[in-house]
């Protein structure tokens, strides 16, 4: 069945359990980045729709929070099972609108589902405290309560998993949600909403608003006093704006913003493992992940060998439409993304970087937003792509001589989301773990994300954590009750 003929495919707003048109009846077209073809139109939410969705979420919230933890857990688990059952059509839909290879899309659905499973379990483990009081006729109780209505704003690079990773802890905690997915990829979000309803999650608990009016919807979500929390994944610029906008109503905020991950390869590394890690970290989703290796720092003793091995591995990438099973590298999300990566590459070349390898692309790919995988060597530290998120399949290699220098280069960034290092020296591993300024560190691995671990950054990469037992804290208020027995 074509993804657009599946019951998972919906083109309306999801408000209070119903699929509806936008208040001004407008729609917008969503395109397939591999071909430039329009997939379908979808309702374009207005600020009035956002208000309606917030009201629905606010009405549903006390009822949802009043369910027992076990009831919420069982519903999350049923939803998880439906995602697993529909993994294939969900993956096909994801590839259609996002472009990533099908194998990666299947992986993303499994990854998104794993958050539902994890938080179905964590829902049952929301503990409080009883604290020793200052007088013996008193009792100090600490309980945890849902923060209330949560607004989520998510990007297009993981249209299923970025949303699932916010919805799962929110629902586990007893919160209800108004979600604004990225306009580039609304269908995967709407499919998640459809399956939530199928699982029996009540109307109003999850509301989903595809929209091209991000700024206006964002203003309503951040200024409406019925919204208690904003959870955002996206660019640092928009994150800063959301912090400012949320100030007037003092909202809880979780931000997962941009990254500029350093990837350190030391002379003593297992080079084949380092190359395998580099390929996963750099080329997954065509380089469009926030934890992507952005700057490769390679120690001088193995610089040439590592470069040669990486070039050989890159030659194996098969570029094309992600729905072709053989393809391992899909398109970028848009023409704008193509231009941005092109500009960063040109800037680096103008400053003295050299192209060591660049894939040739078939003419038939010209209708899509493809970018050739490119290996750049001798990249100067002042090149824009050393300090800005590349978000494309360009690997930028920089040579270093000492560990101290590598750590200093790695930390010389306003971002601190992910970092990677390949070395066999355990004392060095300890030093890197202590000194690298990052929220997440992969040692001898290029893949670090999973539902059990706390995902999040420091510095201008944001705050708050998603996944793991820490991920629930962001959706819970602490309440202290003092009981007197005198
Ligand atoms: P990117 O450039 O990768 O698309 P953005 O931060 O612009 O990153 O987008 C991430 C999410 O934030 C998307 O859902 C987008 O629609 C939304 N967004 C963009 N601008 C704003 C804004 N001013 N207010 C609220 N949401 C926004």
pLDDT of 107 = 98
Q: Is 183 in the pocket of ligand 1 (CB under 6 A)?
A: yes
The answer to whether the CB of 238 is under 6 A from ligand 1 is yes
Task: Classify burial at 76, counting beta carbons within 10 Å of its beta carbon; exposed 0-12, middle 13-18, buried 19 or more.
Answer: buried
Nearest to 421 by CA among 383, 388, 448: 448
Q: pLDDT value at position 486?
A: 87
Alpha-carbon distance of 349 to 392, in angstroms, equals 16
pLDDT in the model for residue 20: 98
Ligand 1 mutation pick, 182, 183, 243, 285, max ligand atoms within 8 A of CB: 182
Q: Which residue has the tokens 């007893």?
A: 174
In the annotation, is 389 catalytic? no
Ligand 1: nearest atom to the Cα of 238: 6
* 439 Cα: distance to centroid of ligand 1 (angstroms): 22
Confirm or reject: Cβ of 241 under 6 Å from ligand 1.
yes
- Determine the length of the chain: 486
CA 402/CA 404 separation, integer angstroms: 5
**Would you call 85 a catalytic residue per the annotation?**
no
The secondary structure of 377-427 as a DSSP string is ES--TTSHHHHS---SSEEEEEEE--HHHHHHHHH-SSEESEEEEE---HH
Query: What number does the ligand 1 atom closest to the CA of 157 have?
Result: 3
Q: What is the pLDDT of residue 296?
A: 98
Dist. CA 114–CA 467, nearest whole Å: 10
Per-residue model confidence as pLDDT tens for the chain (486 residues): 788 889 999 999 999 999 999 999 999 999 999 999 999 999 999 999 999 999 999 999 999 999 999 999 999 999 999 999 999 999 999 999 999 999 999 999 999 999 999 999 999 999 999 999 999 999 999 999 999 999 999 999 999 999 999 999 999 999 999 999 999 999 999 999 999 999 999 999 999 999 999 999 999 999 999 999 999 999 999 999 999 999 999 999 999 999 999 999 999 999 999 999 999 999 999 999 999 999 999 999 999 999 999 999 999 999 999 999 999 999 999 999 999 999 999 999 999 999 999 999 999 999 999 999 999 999 999 999 999 999 999 999 999 999 999 999 999 999 999 999 999 999 999 999 999 999 999 999 999 999 999 999 999 999 999 999 999 999 999 999 999 998
- Alpha-carbon distance of 387 to 294, in angstroms, equals 9
Q: Whose CA is nearest to atom 18 of ligand 1?
A: 214
């Amino acid at each position: 069945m074509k993804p657009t003929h599946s019951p998972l495919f919906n083109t309306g707003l999801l408000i209070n359990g119903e699929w509806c048109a936008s208040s001004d009846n407008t729609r917008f077209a969503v395109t397939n980045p591999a071909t430039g073809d329009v997939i379908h139109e979808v309702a374009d939410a207005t600020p009035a729709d956002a208000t309606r969705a917030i009201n629905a979420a606010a009405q549903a919230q006390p009822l949802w929070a009043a369910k027992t933890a076990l009831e919420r857990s069982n519903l999350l688990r049923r939803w998880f099972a439906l995602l697993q059952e529909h993994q294939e059509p969900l993956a096909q839909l994801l590839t259609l609108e996002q472009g990533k290879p099908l194998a990666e899309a299947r992986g993303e659905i499994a990854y998104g589902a794993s958050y539902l499973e994890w938080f179905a379990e964590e829902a049952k483990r929301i503990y409080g405290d009883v604290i020793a009081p200052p007088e013996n006729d008193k009792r100090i109780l600490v309980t945890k309560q849902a923060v209330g209505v949560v607004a989520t704003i998510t990007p297009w690079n993981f249209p299923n998993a970025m949303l699932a990773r916010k919805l799962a802890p929110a629902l586990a905690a007893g919160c209800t949600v108004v979600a604004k997915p990225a306009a580039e990829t609304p269908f995967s979000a709407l499919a998640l909403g459809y399956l939530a309803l199928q699982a029996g999650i009540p109307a109003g608990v999850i509301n989903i608003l595809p929209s091209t009016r991000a700024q206006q919807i964002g203003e309503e979500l951040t200024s409406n006093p019925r919204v208690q929390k904003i959870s955002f994944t996206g660019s640092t610029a928009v994150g800063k704006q959301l912090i400012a906008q949320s100030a007037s109503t003092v909202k809880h905020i979780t931000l997962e913003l941009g990254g500029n991950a350093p990837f350190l390869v030391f002379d003593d590394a297992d080079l084949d493992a380092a190359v395998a890690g580099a390929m996963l970290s750099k080329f997954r989703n065509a380089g469009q992940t926030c934890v992507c290796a952005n700057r490769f720092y390679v120690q001088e003793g193995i610089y040439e060998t590592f470069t040669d091995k990486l070039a050989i591995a890159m030659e194996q990438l098969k570029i094309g439409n992600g729905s072709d099973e053989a393809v391992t590298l899909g398109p970028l999300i848009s023409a704008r993304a193509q231009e941005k990566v092109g500009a960063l590459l040109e800037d680096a070349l103008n400053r003295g970087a050299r192209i060591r390898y660049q894939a040739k692309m078939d003419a038939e790919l010209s209708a899509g937003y493809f970018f050739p995988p490119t290996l750049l060597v001798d990249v100067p530290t002042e090149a824009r792509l050393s300090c800005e998120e590349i978000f494309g399949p360009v690997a930028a290699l920089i040579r270093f001589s000492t560990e101290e220098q590598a750590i200093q280069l790695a930390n010389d960034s306003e971002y601190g989301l992910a970092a990677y290092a390949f070395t066999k020296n355990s004392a060095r591993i300890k030093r890197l773990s202590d000194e690298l300024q990052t929220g997440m560190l992969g040692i001898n691995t290029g893949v670090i994300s999973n539902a059990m671990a706390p995902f999040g950054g420091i510095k201008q990469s944001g705050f708050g954590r998603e996944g793991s037992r820490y991920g629930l804290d962001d959706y819970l208020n602490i309440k202290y009750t003092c009981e007197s027995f005198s």
